[in-house]
Amino acid sequence: MLDKNNCDEKTDEELVALTLKNQDFFSCLVDRYEEKLLRYIMRISAVTREDAEDLLQEIFVKVYRNLNAFDQKLKFSSWIYRISHNQVISHWRKSKTRPQVLKFEADEDFLKFIATDEDLARDTERKFTGEEVRGIISQLDEKYREVIVLKFLEGKDYKEISDILEKPLGTVATLINRAKKQFKDISAGKEFNF
């Protein structure tokens, strides 16, 4: 039987190596990423919690099936987020013919995460409630919404975002800057609907 305490002491990459030898260790990776990925899926998509849980299950199946293909040069977290990103996009493409209501679930801590642009954070904190911030974020272009979520809510650095989205670092930096500008523009005009 697997001792879960051993999981906490191991890096993701060590757990991958152990999983390749003993599939029981995969539960350690699931435990480590389940809540993070569920939150990420719900933040970047317009799915219900139940649909997000279904997507998460599909993601873990895909991760398990492709574990041998994991590139040790990448961080495991970047790799699993990329799979999640691709799965959400795939789900969106399959369901885009059906009308959906866009929603965004933000933590109340969002304003702390976006603090890298202090003026934006200060202005946002002064002017808007958490619900209003969620309304603003839900109006961002999809490509901007995702980088905002990855950078400020998931705490990913530029390299990880680059790996997840499979975009060059310069493109990631541009997207983040444009996302912040669009956030400011929407919040300044108070053009949000929720």
Mean pLDDT computed over 117-134: 56
Question: Who has greater pLDDT, 51 or 93?
Answer: 51
When pLDDT is averaged across residues 9-22 and rounded to a whole number, the result is: 93
Task: Mark which of 67, 95, 123 sits at the end of a domain.
Answer: 95
Q: pTM of the prediction?
A: 0.68
| Domain end position, chosen among 95, 121, 156 | 95
Q: Is the pLDDT of residue 135 over 70?
A: yes
pLDDT tens digit sequence for 22-48: 999 999 999 999 999 999 998 888 788
Average pLDDT in the 50-79 region? 92
- CATH number of the domain enclosing 174: 1.10.10.10
Confidence of residue 102 (pLDDT cuts 50, 70, 90): very low
pLDDT at residue 142, rounded to an integer: 84
Do 125 and 150 contact (CB within 8 A), yes or no?
Answer: no
Mean pLDDT on 114-135 = 55
- What distance in Å separates the CA atoms of residue 114 and residue 144, rounded to the nearest whole number? 14
- Domain CATH code at residue 24: 1.10.1740.10
Domain assignment present for 194: no
Domain boundary among 71, 95, 119: 95
**For residue 46, what pLDDT is reported?**
72
1 found inside a domain: no
Tell me how far apart the alpha carbons of residues 173 and 138 are, in angstroms, rounded to a whole number: 21
103-110: average pLDDT: 49
